[in-house]
Amino acid sequence: MIELTTNFIDLNWLNVMYLFFVGLVGGLVSGFIGSGGAFVLTPGMMSIGVPGLVAVASNMCHKFPKALVGAIKRAKFGQVDVKLGLVMGASAEAGVLFGAHIQEYIKKTFGDAGSNLYVSVAFVIVLGIVGSYVLLDALKTKDDSQANKPEKITKIAKWIQSVNIPGTMVYFKSLNAKISFLFTIPLGFATGMLAATIAVGGFLGVPAMMYILGAPALMASATELVIAFVMGLVGSFKYAMGGFVDIRLAMIILAGSLFGVQLGAIGTTYVKDYMIKIVMSVIMLVVLVSRGLMIPVYLSQLGVISPLSEMTVKILKSSSFIIMVAALLTGALIICSALYKGLREERKLRRLVELPSSDTVK
Amino acid sequence: MSKRKKSFVRVLFFGAITGILYAGLFFNEPIINALCARGGLYALFPVATAFVFSFAHGNFTNYFWQALGVEAKKGAEKTLRDRPVERKEIRTQLRA
């Protein structure tokens, strides 16, 4: 237990401001695309020296109340499928508990470097696969939505919606169909396990709801907030029981992130579905590069590869950090410009409606 | 305009509560760190803290953007108030 206390880093003003900013942008992104935004927050915390496990745990503790606030906001826009969120959330719980167990085991056996390596490798693999798939799909849907075609449902989603297993069929409003809840179990479990590993279950949950179950991107990203709340609550409790939650870190991030999550949620009402996919994939792929650069550092710390020179470690660390910041800013910029454009057009439209109406109605 | 004024008062109210909460957190840092690192049933402490902070701060940020005039696209918000009015209109049209 004494060793655990030393896991909490000392905070100075610079760190606090940095975390607030990271939280703001992370919240902005998560309000917009639905996943916890932790893919920027976890590495963000790790880059100022927070051990991987404490970063994941503290992140989760700020995530569930934030997800609740975001879900309530987006439910007002009619984008949340609460039933699907709760059903997926239940199996995600099991995934979280399993994933947290693995995390603790790795930390005990291989120490901080092992835990950091595990988190980073999981990031690279998941972001690589899901990020490129979502990007390809976003480019495809962009053409479709310009031609005003409705969003297509994938073949696998069509098949799942056609299977009838008596006694297990549930109607979900986001899918506008009845499906067997058995299909949601592995998806929820994988989402939860990933959430406990890298604190971003949404990277699996959102694409799974979109491509495997057939939910529209807007609703999938909003429903993910319900899943994030359910599993974040239990996950935080589990990590907190081990003494891994640094509440100071969690609350600083929450401070910035609640500003962001509200803004991100408002932003979704001004954009088309494909825009959410583009933002999601661009950020995923940039963060992948940032985390990938750190893998050799952790490998050398574990003695798997020959030790790197101090200079190389420094270069790798700073380029990873700079790329991370670039990912944050890119995402924030895309969302803010979409929001700005939307707000401006809306005001222009309102003015047009207000002014000429008095002239034309004669 | 009055809506904005209302939001502004609420921003101040929830802002003050949030400020007090954060001040409490950082002025009692050693105790709070000790409570968090303890584990076991003390896990309730960080979880409950997160709930309280998010309630105060969530309201603060909500009214903050509202006071600045950053709001969702009109028509996107489906409030319960809007629905019955729409239905009433349809019914009168049908009867006519």
**Chain B residues touching A237 at Cβ < 8 A:** 43-44, 47
Q: Does any CB of chain A come closer than 8 Å to the CB of residue B80?
A: no
Q: Does any CB of chain B come closer than 8 Å to the CB of residue A236?
A: yes
Model pLDDT for residues A305-333, shown as the tens digit of each residue: 888 888 898 899 889 888 877 877 888 88
Q: Does any CB of chain B come closer than 8 Å to the CB of residue A169?
A: no
B33 falls within a domain:
yes
C-alpha span between A362 and A359 (Å, rounded): 7
Q: Do B77 and A76 touch (CB under 8 A)?
A: yes
| Domain range summary for chain A, segments of one domain joined by + | 13-344
Q: What is the pLDDT of residue A7?
A: 62
C-alpha span between A18 and A4 (Å, rounded): 24
Outline where chain A has alpha helix (H).
Answer: 2-5, 13-33, 38-46, 52-76, 82-146, 155-162, 184-198, 202-207, 217-241, 247-268, 273-302, 310-360
How many residues would you count in chain A?
362
C-alpha span between B4 and B13 (Å, rounded): 14
Name the residue range of residue B18's domain.
Answer: 7-67
Which pTM value belongs to this model?
A: 0.74
C-alpha distance from B91 to closest chain A C-alpha (Å): 24
B91 falls within a domain:
no
Q: What is the pLDDT of residue B60?
A: 92
The structural domain count of chain B equals 1
B55 falls within a domain:
yes
- Which candidate from B54, B71, B73 shows the least CB-CB separation from A254? B54
**Chain A residues touching B46 at Cβ < 8 A:** 61, 236, 240, 245, 247, 250
Terminal CA-to-CA distance of chain B, rounded, Å? 39
Residue of B nearest to A262 (CA): B62
Contact partners, residue A233, CB within 8 Å, separation at least 6: A64, B47
User: Is the per-residue pLDDT at B71 higher than 70?
Assistant: yes
The beta strand positions in chain B, using DSSP E, are none
User: Is the per-residue pLDDT at A64 higher than 50?
Assistant: yes
Most confident of A46-60, A258-272, B6-20: B6-20
Average pLDDT, chain A: 83
Q: What is the pLDDT of residue A39?
A: 67
C-alpha span between B10 and B7 (Å, rounded): 5
Note which residues in 265-294 of chain A have CB less than 8 A from chain B.
265-266, 269-270
Residue of A nearest to B58 (CA): A258
Model pLDDT for residues B6-51, shown as the tens digit of each residue: 888 889 999 999 999 999 988 888 888 888 788 788 888 888 899 8
Say how many C-beta atoms besides its own lie within 10 A of residue A322's C-beta: 12
Question: pLDDT tier at A2 (50, 70, 90 boundaries)?
Answer: very low
Inter-chain Cβ pairs, chain A and chain B, closer than 8 A: 128
B1 falls within a domain:
no
Query: A272 and A38 in contact (C-beta within 8 Å)?
Result: no
More reliable by pLDDT, B55 or A11: B55
B90 falls within a domain:
no
Q: Does any CB of chain B come closer than 8 Å to the CB of residue A8?
A: yes
C-alpha span between A62 and B7 (Å, rounded): 25
ipTM rounded to 2 decimals: 0.75
Identify the residue whose tokens are 């995402």: A331
Mean pLDDT of the A344-349 span: 85
Mean pLDDT of the A112-131 span: 86
Please choose, from the candidates A159, A124, A138, the residue with its C-alpha nearest in 3D space to the C-alpha of residue A207. A138
Say whether A179 sits in a helix, a strand or coil: strand
Question: pLDDT tier at B83 (50, 70, 90 boundaries)?
Answer: very low
B84 falls within a domain:
no
**Chain A residues touching B71 at Cβ < 8 A:** 266
Mean pLDDT of the A254-272 span: 87
B18 falls within a domain:
yes
Q: What is the pLDDT of residue B19?
A: 93
C-alpha distance from B67 to closest chain A C-alpha (Å): 13
C-alpha span between B68 and B64 (Å, rounded): 6
B54 falls within a domain:
yes
Mean pLDDT of the B55-73 span: 87
Could you tell me if residue A149 is left (phi over 0), alpha (psi between -120 and 50 degrees) or otherwise beta?
beta
Model pLDDT for residues A153-182, shown as the tens digit of each residue: 788 888 888 888 888 888 888 888 888 888
Mean pLDDT of the A95-121 span: 86
Distance of CA A327 to the CA centre of its chain: 13
Backbone CA torsion sign across A301, A305, A307, A312: negative
Mean pLDDT of the A64-69 span: 85
